[in-house]
């Protein structure tokens, strides 16, 4: 076993604090790597506070992980010591169901194994995430990271990036499409970057007028202030797709009104209350509302390769691990542009 330093929540009401724990020895198919950077996802906060239920404590969050490989198992073929590597939201799945066979392990019909707040399939030991100095993971769930891009900016691609890349690819968004993006945060800023890179016309839909300059700097072509009824009216029946990244309650009927015939509202945010949509919002224009989560391992690697080729990374603020609790409070206020990333050298 390897002795590991990390930061953990001991209960749902205690702040993150230093905590030492153990990782398993490197097995035949495992790689071990030193964690250099770990992104801070809003879901980290949800889970350490047990807002989704079923949290396992002590909990070491973090699933936007990049680093350098220091050990490889005897049967490992895809990686070698010294390679840059990444781990996203999953570290295992059943590998046998139809979803897994399609390379969509995120939808594993037997449940994928989360990078943290989950249990290893064989031992049932809790999984611990990237707010730590090293990780051991089966090579099948480890990703190649390019040396072309700044690693701190790459880390959030492993969740925020793939969460927006995957639905855009699934619905084949590209030239000729009009795409709206709701919410300019960690997810939203990546949705703007990808949709623009794929050739779509991108409109930022926001309640904050001060987001307009930032949205356009990220690649948005237009901006609509959703608090202004006249601006909302100007895009009625307009969008082919709307990527909805908001995790707070909001007006789904207003969102639907902005979709053209056959338009799709793609929800990647997770509000705490059920959505309310009037039937006529949908049937009047054959609109639909859909959901999407992260991508599978093949698609995540595809995204990382695309980002390396097109020089796309997340906009990040690098923090010390000791500032993680204060950073959570700032994240709740929307005071981050657009993703906190922990420099694990500060652990």
Residue range 131-156, pLDDT digits in tens = 999 999 999 999 999 999 999 999 99
pLDDT at 259 over 90: yes
Q: Do residues 130 and 9 both lie within one domain? A: yes
Question: Under 8 Å CB-to-CB from 237, ≥6 apart: which residues?
Answer: 257, 258, 259, 260, 261, 285
Tens-place pLDDT, residues 280-292: 999 999 999 999 9
Q: Which residues of 127-151 are buried (b: 16+ CB within 10 A; e: fewer)?
A: bbbbbbbbbbbbbebbbebeeebeb
Dist CA 133 CA 65 (whole Å)? 10
Domain limits for position 278: 161-291
- Please report, for the domain that includes residue 279, its CATH number: 3.40.50.720
Band the pLDDT of 337: cuts 50, 70, 90.
very high
Band the pLDDT of 59: cuts 50, 70, 90.
very high
Q: Do residues 154 and 11 both lie within one domain? A: yes
The reported pLDDT for the residue numbered 216 is 98
More confident residue, 178 or 272: 178
Within-domain flag for 297: no
Q: Do residues 9 and 122 both lie within one domain? A: yes
pLDDT at 178 over 90: yes
The reported pLDDT for the residue numbered 2 is 83
What percent of the chain shows pLDDT beyond 70? 100
The reported pLDDT for the residue numbered 154 is 98
Q: Do residues 176 and 209 both lie within one domain? A: yes
Band the pLDDT of 163: cuts 50, 70, 90.
very high
Tens-place pLDDT, residues 79-138: 999 999 999 999 999 999 999 999 999 999 999 999 999 999 999 999 999 999 999 999
Within-domain flag for 308: no
pLDDT at 260 over 90: yes
Q: What is the mean pLDDT of the chain?
A: 97
The H-or-E segment that residue 90 falls in is strand 90-92
- Please report, for the domain that includes residue 153, its CATH number: 3.90.180.10
Q: Do residues 17 and 42 both lie within one domain? A: yes
- In sign, the C-alpha dihedral spanning 131, 134, 140, 142 is positive
Q: Do residues 135 and 147 both lie within one domain? A: yes
The reported pLDDT for the residue numbered 32 is 98
The reported pLDDT for the residue numbered 1 is 81
The reported pLDDT for the residue numbered 150 is 97
Within-domain flag for 305: no
Average pLDDT for 60-77: 98
Q: Do residues 93 and 6 both lie within one domain? A: yes
Q: Do residues 14 and 154 both lie within one domain? A: yes
Q: How many distinct structural domains can be found in the chain?
A: 2
Dist CA 239 CA 257 (whole Å)? 9
Within-domain flag for 132: yes
Q: Do residues 169 and 152 both lie within one domain? A: no
Q: Do residues 90 and 126 both lie within one domain? A: yes
Within-domain flag for 211: yes
Within-domain flag for 242: yes
Q: Do residues 11 and 154 both lie within one domain? A: yes
The reported pLDDT for the residue numbered 160 is 97
Residue keyed to tokens 């930022």: 204
Within-domain flag for 301: no
Selection from 266, 273, 258 nearest residue 288 by Cα: 266
Average pLDDT for 171-198: 97
Does residue 199 come out as left (phi exceeding 0), alpha (psi in the -120 to 50 range) or beta?
left
Within-domain flag for 298: no
Q: Do residues 243 and 340 both lie within one domain? A: no
Tens-place pLDDT, residues 321-336: 999 999 999 999 989 9
């Amino acid at each position: 076993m390897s002795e590991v330093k990390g930061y953990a929540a001991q209960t749902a009401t205690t702040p993150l604090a230093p905590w030492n724990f153990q990782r398993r020895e490197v097995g035949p198919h495992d790689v071990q790597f030193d964690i250099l950077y770990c992104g801070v996802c809003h879901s980290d906060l949800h889970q350490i506070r047990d807002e989704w239920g079923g949290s396992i404590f002590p909990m070491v969050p973090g699933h936007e992980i990049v680093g350098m490989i220091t050990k490889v198992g005897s049967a490992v073929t895809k990686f070698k010591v010294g390679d840059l590597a990444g781990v996203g939201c999953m570290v295992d799945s059943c590998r046998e169901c139809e979803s897994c066979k399609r390379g969509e392990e995120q939808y594993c019909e037997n449940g994928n194994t989360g990078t943290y707040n989950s249990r290893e399939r064989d031992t049932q030991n809790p999984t611990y995430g990237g707010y730590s100095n090293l990780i051991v993971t089966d090579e099948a769930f480890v990703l190649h990271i390019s040396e072309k891009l700044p690693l701190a900016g790459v880390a959030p691609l492993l969740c925020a990036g793939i969460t927006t890349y995957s639905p855009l690819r699934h619905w084949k968004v590209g030239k000729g499409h009009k795409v709206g993006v709701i919410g300019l945060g960690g997810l939203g800023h990546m949705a703007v970057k990808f949709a623009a890179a794929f050739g779509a016309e991108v409109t930022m839909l926001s309640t904050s007028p001060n987001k307009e300059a930032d949205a356009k700097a990220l690649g948005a072509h237009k901006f609509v202030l959703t608090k202004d009824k006249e601006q909302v009216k100007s895009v009625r029946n307009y969008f082919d797709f709307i990527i909805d990244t908001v995790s707070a309650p909001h007006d789904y009927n207003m969102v639907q009104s902005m979709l053209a015939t056959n338009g799709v509202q793609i929800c990647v945010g997770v509000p705490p209350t059920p959505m309310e949509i009037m039937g006529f919002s949908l049937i009047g224009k054959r609109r639909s509302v859909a959901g999407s989560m992260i991508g599978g391992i093949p698609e995540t690697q595809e995204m990382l390769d695309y980002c390396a080729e097109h020089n796309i990374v997340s906009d990040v603020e690098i923090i010390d691990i000791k500032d993680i609790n204060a950073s959570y409070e700032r994240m709740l206020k929307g005071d981050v542009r657009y993703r906190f990333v922990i420099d694990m050298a500060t652990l």
